[in-house]
Structures are given as structure tokens and as C-alpha cells.
Structure 1
Amino acid sequence: MNVSGFRRTTSDYLRSVCHSIGFGLHRVGPGRDQVCERTRLSRLLAQAESALSPGTVIDVGAACGDFVETCSRVFPAASYVMVEPLVEYRRLLQEIERRHPRSRYICAAATSHAGDIVINVHPDLVGSSVLRETEQGTGVNGVPRTVPAVTIDGLVQQTRARGPFLLKIDVQGAELDVLEGAARTLEETEYILCEVSLFKFFESGPEVLDVTTYMKRRGFVMYDLGGMQYRPLDNALSQIDIAFVKETGPLRQRHEYATPEQRADQDRRIRASLSGRVLPR
């Protein structure tokens, strides 16, 4: 079999197996592997919807407000706090405030302390960070800017936000600083969606293991994955969104894989997808 034929056969096989267990596969770009539909934000949130009823959703690193727009369709009864330090996004977030009466926009950077902090405003805006990137020769770190700094615990007290909380954190390397400033809030939090890096993109920034270890110490474990991003350098997986939940929370009450009926049905479908590829019993 030639290489292209092998790729087609492998692709067809993976698609059929994933379909048999309830997933879909779609190519996301040249040179990239395929990803499951469940990695979309709306699917991640919908998966947790049955066990969660957040009183307040706190969006740290709100940018254009896309997360709040999506999340509010899944949890329409929740209140929303959008934390974003870049004034370039102000008009968009104020518009969301107008459309969603229970939302509030705070123009500040969430970190481990209140006061001021310097953020490096990147040319693309979305990569802006309080940490500097390790990349050389590209001007990626942009222009430093002093912005107000707040803690999540302080914001919760200031806004009188009520739990339980759902946190989303997208802060380009400053994840642990945000979490350090949210110690009390985490006690009332059941779900955290956090973007993490697989490489040392930021000076002093954490990688996946650092974040998962920290979360484990706080009583949270990985529950779901999404938002796969691939770096242009070599198409390697570079950043992912990890959904963390309380280790003993409502989303982890059962640890078996399937009911007997579900297991039998899955076995039949997988065996059917393998027909002609493996030896019969």
C-alpha cells in the first residue's frame, strides 16, 4: 500500500471508531491532526451543564467577550464578571454589558495582588501578558503598559458576587498568579476552564504539569479538554484548555466507564467498525 492509501485507510478507520463511540473528527488545517467535536467550547460547557448551576461566572482575560456570549447560552441564569486589562476591548465588553443585564465589566488584570501591574501589549493584542515571551527576534512582547491589578477574591467581595462560581482563565502564562489571588473563591468553585501551555513560551510561566499539580493540591482534577492550538513553528500542540472540577464534586460521583447496556452496545459498534480488519474469533 502506498503512503497516501495508508493515510486514507487510517483516517477512515479512526473516523469510524470515533463515530462508534459518539465523537466526530474534522481536519482543522494543513499539517494538523484531526480533533474531536467535543473540544469546542459550547460542547465542553454543555457536557458539564447537568451537574452545574453557577451563580456567577468569572471570565478572566475576557478579550472580545466570546466566552461570555457562549457560556450565557448554556447558563442563562448566571451573573457574569468580565475581567480584561486592555482598553482596546472596552467597546466590545461594554456592549455585552448592555445586552446582558447581569454582566459586569472590570478593566483590570487579575493577579495575586491588588494595585498596579505592567502588561506587555502584543501587536496581536490576544497574546498580551504580564510575562515576557521567550521568543527572540520577533518583537512579540510589544509595548509595556501599566494597568490596574485586582484579585479574584477582591472582585468577588467588591461585586458581592454569589457562588457557586465557574472560572475561565486565559491569561497567557499568568494562570498560577490568578489562582493565587482566588484562594477563597476556589472554595466555592466547581468548574475552572484554564488555558495552559505545553512549552515554556513565557519566562517564569507554568506548563501543563505545573498547573495540574497546583490544581491537585487545591482539590481539583482534570475533567475535560478543548481549545487545541498548534504553533506555526512545527505544528506541535502548543496550548490547550483544561476543564478542572472538584475531585469529590458532582461531576465525579461515578467512576465506572459505562452501564452494562452501554458497554454491550459500544462493543457491537466497535466490532462492526473492525470488520474485515481483524481476524474473526
Structure 2
Amino acid sequence: MELLNIKQARFLLDVGANRGQFASEILKSGYTGTVVSFEALPHVYQELSASASAFGKRWVVAPRAAVSDVDGDVSFNVTKNFASSSLLQPTDYMLEKGEQLTILETIQVPTRRLDDLVGALGLSEGTFFLKMDVQGAEHMVLAGAPETLKRSVGALLEVHLVDYYEGQPSWKQLDDVMTSNGLRLWDVHPFLRGANGRLEGMDVVYVRSDDVLLP
């Protein structure tokens, strides 16, 4: 919240919103801009929309779609815990973590580029703060969001440091994309470690490098 207040982003783009847990916390903590959430799973989308309705115009839910690099339709892997669902296939390493990470079903979902969704929602003015929790599909989202990235004053990405999904990008690849778009690493929040203590997952925060952050 401190960073959001400093950066004064007009819109927080909540890509991979799930039921809206992150957005709800941000709004309740005092964020004064507008949250725009994106989610693909049908039943989760319904819960997300219900949560957003309580906040009026402060919280907008985009049409249901998986944010990706192309417009179309694609198979989406739904895991038993729902939160680990992804456009990508889970690796054997991930499946060994427990039954809740196994695939419950595979469904067809529409895919949309973030740039196109932003345009369709009429977000033509103001800056963005981009939050992404898309389970290995970060490179797809970023490939479809060059214009959105240009208007982003910061970003929060959930990344895995070991392969949880087939074809997921490395953190270095993601860092290269962010850096090439004028965003620099600002903070790291570890959230997942393996049984041997190795760091496997973390949230990383980026800010635009040409901005003055603090007095």
C-alpha cells in the first residue's frame, strides 16, 4: 500500500484475480484508485464478480478470459485447489507436492491480450500498476501487453524458481522483459520453499526506473 500510494497508479490491473482476495485486501487497506480484475475460471469468476459488486465503481471485473498473447480459445488445466490452475501443464515435480495440485479437469476458456482488454474497457488515460498471479504463464501475459507495460509505474509478479509448469519462463527471462520496459527490481517476498530449504517461489516487485520514489 505504501508503494501504491507513492506511485499513485490510477488503475491496479489484477491479472489472475481468483476470487478477488488480493483486490479486496488492497481496497480495504485504502487504495483510492480503481482495481480491474481478470479471471478465467467460470465458477471462480462468479465469486469474483459478487465480491467486486460490493465496492461499486472502485472494483471492475473484465469479461471472463485467460490473459495471454493471442485472442482465441485454449485448454485450461483446473487443479483441485483451483489456485494453481494454469494455461500450462504441471510438471511431475509439482504433482509430487500433493493431491490438491493435480488436475481436476481441463476446460476450454477464451484468451485475450491484455492490451486489447485494456482498450475494450476504455482505460485510455492514467497509469497502471500490474499485478500478475498466472501460474507459469507470465511470459504469455507480458507478450500481449507491450502498451500496458509502457503505462505501468510498477508491477507485482508471482514467480517460481523451479519448474512447476511445463514451458514456464525463468525469473531471469521475466526480469529481462521488465528491465527492457524500464522497470527495475524493487523488492522480493519469498513465499515457498522446498523440503530442503531451497527457495522455490516468491513475489517480486518492480518500479519504473525513471521515477523518483521517495523524498
For this structure pair, what is the TM-score category when the shorter chain's length is used for normalisation? 0.7 to 0.9
Whose helix proportion is higher, 1 or 2? 1
Q: Matched residue of 1:250: which SS? A: coil
Whose strand proportion is higher, 1 or 2? 2
* Residue 127 (structure 1) aligned to one of 63, 68, 84: 84
Instruction: Read off the aligned partner of 1:187 and give its amino acid letter.
Output: K
In the alignment, the residues of structure 1 paired with residue 112 and residue 191 of structure 2 have an alpha-carbon distance, to the nearest angstrom, of 29
In the alignment, the residues of structure 1 paired with residue 196 and residue 136 of structure 2 have an alpha-carbon distance, to the nearest angstrom, of 21
Instruction: Read off the aligned partner of 1:159 and give its amino acid letter.
Output: L
| Partner residue, 1:41 | none
In structure 2, do the counterparts of structure 1 residues 178 and 242 end up closer, same or farther at CA, with 3 Å as the change threshold? same
In the alignment, the residues of structure 1 paired with residue 86 and residue 177 of structure 2 have an alpha-carbon distance, to the nearest angstrom, of 20
In structure 2, do the counterparts of structure 1 residues 217 and 194 end up closer, same or farther at CA, with 3 Å as the change threshold? same
Q: Is the 8 A contact 1:110 1:150 kept in 2?
A: yes
* Residue 39 (structure 2) aligned to one of 68, 71, 84: 84
In the alignment, the residues of structure 1 paired with residue 23 and residue 190 of structure 2 have an alpha-carbon distance, to the nearest angstrom, of 16
2:187 is the alignment partner of 1:203: no
> In the TM superposition, what is the alpha-carbon distance from 1:74 to its structure 2 partner?
4.4
| Partner residue, 1:65 | 20
Q: CA RMSD in A?
A: 2.0
The number of residues matched between the two structures is: 207
2:199 is the alignment partner of 1:244: no
Q: Is the 8 A contact 1:163 1:189 kept in 2?
A: no
In the alignment, the residues of structure 1 paired with residue 147 and residue 29 of structure 2 have an alpha-carbon distance, to the nearest angstrom, of 25
| Partner residue, 1:105 | 61
> In the TM superposition, what is the alpha-carbon distance from 1:75 to its structure 2 partner?
5.0
In the alignment, the residues of structure 1 paired with residue 205 and residue 30 of structure 2 have an alpha-carbon distance, to the nearest angstrom, of 16
| Partner residue, 1:183 | 146
In the alignment, the residues of structure 2 paired with residue 75 and residue 166 of structure 1 have an alpha-carbon distance, to the nearest angstrom, of 15
* Residue 155 (structure 2) aligned to one of 192, 197, 201: 192
Q: Is the 8 A contact 2:4 2:31 kept in 1?
A: no
Unaligned runs of 5+ in 2: none
The residue correspondences of 1:130-169 to structure 2 (distance < 5 A) are: 130-135=87-92, 140-161=102-123, 162-169=125-132
Q: Deviations over 1:244-266 (max 9, x none)?
A: 11121232x78xxxxxxxxxxxx
In the alignment, the residues of structure 2 paired with residue 98 and residue 50 of structure 1 have an alpha-carbon distance, to the nearest angstrom, of 24
More relative contact order, 1 or 2 (CA 8 Å, 6+ apart): 2
How high is the sequence identity, in percent, across the aligned residues?
A: 26
> In the TM superposition, what is the alpha-carbon distance from 1:227 to its structure 2 partner?
5.0
**Which protein has the larger Cα radius of gyration, Structure 1 or Structure 2?**
1
Question: Which TM-score applies when normalising by structure 1?
Answer: 0.68
Unaligned runs of 5+ in 1: 1-44, 255-281
Instruction: Read off the aligned partner of 2:42 and give its amino acid letter.
Output: V
